[in-house]
Structure 1
Amino acid sequence: MTDAYLALNAGSSSMKFGLSEASDPAEILLSGSAERLGSDAATLAIRDAYGKQVQGSLGAAGHGEALTELCAAISRLRPELRITGVGHRIVHGGTHFNDPLPVTPEVLHALRELIPLAPLHQPHGILGIETAQAQFPEATHVACFDTAFHAGKPWVHESFALPRQYFDEGVRRYGFHGLACASICDALERGGYPLADRKIAIAHLGNGCSVTAVAGGRSVATSMGFTALDGLTMGTRCGRIDPGVLLHLMKNGSDADEIERVLYHQSGLLGLSGMSNDMRDLATSDAPEAAQAIAYFIERVIEEIARMAAAMRGLDCVVFSGGIGENAADLRDRITAGLSFLRRSDGSALEICVEPANEERQILVTLHRLAR
């Protein structure tokens, strides 16, 4: 038997994974994803290193059922591998978890207490840990935190202008998509990009969206804040909003649960268009509301990238990633055109590139590093 590592990346309605030998985490043997979890049309797709793909229907599976089927599929496809380490993407690490660490009962308890800060993602990450622990009880399970990449930002980009006691109690700008940002930075460096000497803005655009300012390879500021609601317009999340709107809703009879549903599930592209949270649907629609939603999305991205340039006092490169960032060339062109007023310190135009995030590879490399 050959020791192997498994990376699990649980999203709000999906679960991606990567599998490698423990000795070579950069060489992913199997990868894939379970999509549309929680609906009646959940699917599982698995790809090997040569691009061969196995697909199947999961019916109405949720995250737990999908992971159980995934583990069974791995055993069928690669019976010679023994899973000795499992790395889990955890969206929120709070104030205490700024580095990857082995999962213990105490860590799981602390992660559950953070569920209110990431209600779309944290429960699925925890369920992934519990299910994988049952499937691989002898393996070492490691939690890898999205917030960790942003730890150590300048205080002015971490705090809110609230009484200081709230900051001390953990009410601060954490930032998310950290594993994605770390994987992009690593990929740029491996490709020879002089990351240490550059100021870049990573525009991670998908169903969830953020822009992160990275100077010298470190996070300086990011659009998401205390929760994954802040900043850019997203698929169903509102992004930046005047807190007075929330006070207005509360004073007019909406309770916290109702407001949470609106902000997380009914807003963003879906709320603006009244049609869909999927940019592909909006791009092919003739409805004026679809065009308005796209225009709103583009404007917020341009504004947020410009804000990150201000935070770094300069900008060299914009890196697009995520499902929209990587695949919607027309949107990238419109965003880039809107940034034409920004120039590099030498007066030249901004560098623009597309770099897919690979959170699973990042987790596998982390497992290898911790095992040494």
Structure 2
Amino acid sequence: MNHPSPTILVVNAGSSSVKVSVYTVPEAAHGDGDVNPELSAHGQIEGIGVAPRLTVHMADGRPVADERFPLAQVADHDAAFRLIRLVLSIGLRDNPPVAIGHRVVHGGADFTEAVRIDDEVLAKLEALVPLAPLHQPHNLTAIRAVREAAPELLQVACFDTAFHAGHDVMAQLLGLPYRYFEQGIRRYGFHGLSYEYIARRLRQVAPDLAEGRVVVAHLGNGASLCALRDGRSIDSTMGLTALDGMPMGTRCGAVDPGAVLWLAQQGMRADEIQAMLYQESGLKGLSGVSSDMRVLQASAEPRARLAIDFYAYRAAQEVGKLAVTLGGLDALVFTAGIGANSPEVRARICAHLTGLFGIELDPGANDDNRQRITHDGSRIPVLVLPTDEEGIVALSTARLMREAMAQKAAA
């Protein structure tokens, strides 16, 4: 009798959404070496606490569910996760998941690779909430919900910071008294799951470039850039928290610390300043229109154009800074929601880089979101590669699931 391949879930809890993907682990993954889990279905609830909407699709795109809910029914992430898990369980009744992998934004200094979640791990992740207040609480909500509903289920935490763990001390330091560095106040970097996927993907599609000096621009509602050398992270634009670097959808990016001190001196409380920096700044704050790049591009408001121009200007500056870190630049890669889908934003960023790096964009290729969007004569090639953070989480979860099964068999 043939048994179905093991199933794992991948949970990606964002600030206003919960995404859950279903993967099957091929039989070959039970032996030595990694085998990529295969995506079966994907579901998400977006608009949590505002206008909740549940969608579920099979891997081939076939819709399974598309439903909107009253605000009171999906008022928080706990309710959202329970609902999406209920819907997915209908299709998993005959093959329930054996493990769940979670994207966790901040791993701090303790976690440099994916780990099995236990009470000690959960306590350490709780302590990191102040460093990632927009994401970490929601990541932990999903973990707790699973522990309550199925305490025996293997849960794995995969960290956005882990890919950057090997940075040289120069890329970790802040200009504060050294004792704070010893206490873990340092630059960590984020979006590591995305950068790990791009590093792997680049070896497949352009192995000659993958060995060189590459800057990857992960541009979405959260945005950062990463310097890669031979597929390893060398530096990132984000630091201690996910506020640093370039402006984002609602986050400020790098600001003069004196501005924060001034706000405090004017009487703003720490929680008010935090809310402004994380939720009311960036594209939203500059434009006064929206945090959504698509809305800004369609807007006739002058400040919408100002916000887009500043976004592109700062992104280009970060490319230059990371090129200095790398000692040159061999390729630029765009990824994530804006990076992989907005020809206008890519063109605006590259326009700032043409004189310094000799980038010659191919307008037709850029408009079509092709994999390579520069002319053959461009001194620096520019690529567009969609990312897959959930796929990296699934791979790490399958690896730890295999180890747990081996330990159980040996016991």
With the length of structure 2 as denominator, give the TM-score of the two structures.
Answer: 0.86
State the distance in 1 between where 2:138 and 2:209 align.
33
Give the counterpart letter for 1:48 in structure 2: M
- Quote how far apart the aligned CAs of 1:317 are: 1.3
Considering only aligned residues, what root-mean-square deviation do their CA atoms show, in Å? 1.6
Counterpart of 1:323, as a letter, is G
Task: Give 3-state SS (helix, strand or coil) of 2:218's partner.
Answer: strand
Cα distance between partner residues in 1 of 2:350 and 2:148? 47
The equivalent of 1:46 in structure 2 is: 56
Correspondences of 1:52-91 after superposition (within 5 Å):
52-53=62-63, 54-60=65-71, 61=74, 62-91=76-105
- Which of 143, 151, 170 is the equivalent residue of 1:137? 151
- Superposed CA deviations along residues 290-336 of structure 1, whole A, max 9, x for unmatched, are 11111111100000111111110111111111111111111111111
Q: Matched residues in 1 for 2:140 and 2:52: separation? A: 20
Deviation string, structure 1 residues 89-133 (Cα, Å, up to 9, x no partner): 110011111111111111111111110000000000000101122
Over 3 Å counting, the alpha-carbon distance change for 1:64 and 1:232 in structure 2 is same
Distance 1:366 1:58 in 2: 33
The partner residue of 1:12 within 7, 15, 25 is: 15
Q: Aligned ranges for residues 1-372 of structure 1 at < 5 Å? A: 2=4, 3-23=6-26, 25-39=36-50, 41-53=51-63, 54-60=65-71, 61=74, 62-194=76-208, 196-343=210-357, 349-370=379-400, 371-372=402-403
For residues 96 and 258 of structure 2, what CA distance do their matches in structure 1 show? 54
Equivalent residues of 1:18, 1:361 under 8 A apart: no
The change in CA–CA distance for 1:298 and 1:59 in structure 2 (over 3 A counts) is same
Structure ID, larger Rg: 2
Distance 1:137 1:83 in 2: 13
SS where residue 100 of structure 2 aligns?
Answer: strand
Q: Structure 2: which amino acid aligns with 1:49?
A: A
CA–CA distance in structure 1, aligned partners of residues 190 and 246 of structure 2: 12
Q: Report the TM-score when normalising by structure 1.
A: 0.95
CA contact (8 A) 1:34 1:43 kept: yes
Instruction: Give the letter for the 1:112 counterpart.
Output: E
Corresponding residue SS for 1:327: coil
Q: How far apart in 1 are the matches of 2:82 and 2:55?
A: 14
Bigger mean CA deviation after superposition, 174-183 or 28-37: 28-37
**138-147 or 74-83: bigger deviation:** 74-83
1:190-217 residue CA offsets vs partner (Å, 9 max, x unmatched): 3353355211111111111001111111
| Contact 1:92–1:122 (CA under 8 A) maintained in structure 2 | yes
| Contact 1:342-1:350 at 8 Å conserved across structures | no
**Cα 1:171–1:281, aligned 2, differ >3 Å: closer, same or farther?**
same
**Structure 1: runs of 5+ lacking an equivalent:** none
- Any idea what SS the aligned residue of 2:181 has? helix
Contact 2:25 2:38 in 1 (8 A): no
Q: Distance in 1 between matches of 2:298 and 2:238?
A: 29
- The offset of 1:350, in angstroms, is 1.4
What CA distance in whole angstroms lies between the structure 2 residues aligned with 1:58 and 1:78?
23
Query: Once the 2 structures are TM-superposed, how far is the Cα of residue 362 of structure 1 from its aligned partner?
Result: 0.5
Q: 1:78 to 1:191 in 2, by over 3 A?
A: farther
The residue type paired with residue 35 of structure 1 is: E
Partner letter of residue 259 of structure 1?
I
Tell me how far 1:59 sits from its aligned partner.
2.9
Q: Residues of 2 paired with 1:180 and 1:228: CA distance?
A: 14
| Contact 1:200-1:315 at 8 Å conserved across structures | yes
Identical columns (%): 41
Q: Distance in 2 between matches of 1:32 and 1:342?
A: 43
Counterpart-to-counterpart distance in 2, 1:177 and 1:107: 20
Is the Cα contact below 8 Å between 1:115 and 1:123 reproduced in 2?
A: yes
Contact 2:77 2:141 in 1 (8 A): yes
Aligned length: 369
For 1:264 and 1:336, the matched residues in 2 are separated by 27
Give the C-alpha shift of residue 58 in structure 1: 3.5
